[in-house]
Amino acid sequence: MIHPQAIVDPSARIADDASIGPFCVIGADVEIGSGTRVASHVVINGPTKIGCDNEIFQFASIGEKPQDLKFHDEPTELIVGDRNRIREYVTLHRGTPGGGNVTRVGNDNLLMANVHVAHDCILGDHIILANATALAGHVVVEDHVILGGYTTVHQFTRIGAHAFTGFSTAIDRDVLPFFTVAGNRARAIGINKEGLKRRNFSPETIRALQDAFKLLIKSTCSHKVALEKVGELAKKDENVRKMLDFLDASERGWIR
């Protein structure tokens, strides 16, 4: 399953049923799991672990050194889970000692063409990063997030589960779970209602999240009073509680 015109380091560990296309370069300390398909002209450097049933398209660069001037060839790594689709010209960089030594991509994600995931980013599952989305270092993206094309994300920013961004959004602070944000700089414009419907959230939960959004973003009462009212909603709905817990843990501040 390895094309004769591919260059594979002897230390690379490639599953018998994985496939490596022509003109690929697979470096030392690379592990590729069962069923993963690597097209032509892909470069994968290690230490990198890639799980099962991934599809990596031509011209992607996986596991390269981070673009961090403080990095001095320490033995950091990239870990990619299962069933991800990594499209053309995607770049995934390894971690740094200052960020836990690892960049991690979960399962069942779609990274469209020209996406960049920088050092020490942590991506969950079922995420879509549309074309030319760029994540700076140390970004956390939780499950079921969709980032619209040309979204840019500042380092050390967190994006909560089920959030959605519009085209060409610039994110410089945390995005609360279930929020839709858009613009440069980003502002909160509503709840990701359509996405929640598609994922079978109940009408009651969607209404509770909408009420929480209105209190946090549109209410004329003080922020303290708004948080108290959202806290009352959180007693009745666990998803509102998740939103509130995420807000409480924010260090960079969150998009209003």
> Active-site residues: which are they?
119-120, 137
From CA 81, how far away is CA 181, in angstroms rounded?
A: 28
Residues in contact with 140: Cβ distance below 8 Å, sequence separation at least 6, in sequence order: 121, 122, 157, 158, 159
Instruction: Read off the tokens for 138.
Output: 């140390």
Residue 98: other Cβ atoms inside 10 A: 16
The residue with tokens 């030594």 is: 101
Q: Is the dihedral of CA 193, 197, 200, 204 positive or negative?
A: positive
From CA 121, how far away is CA 217, in angstroms rounded?
A: 28
Of residues 160, 158, 163, the one with CA closest to residue 147: 163
Residues in the chain: 256
Of residues 232, 224, 228, the one with CA closest to residue 208: 232
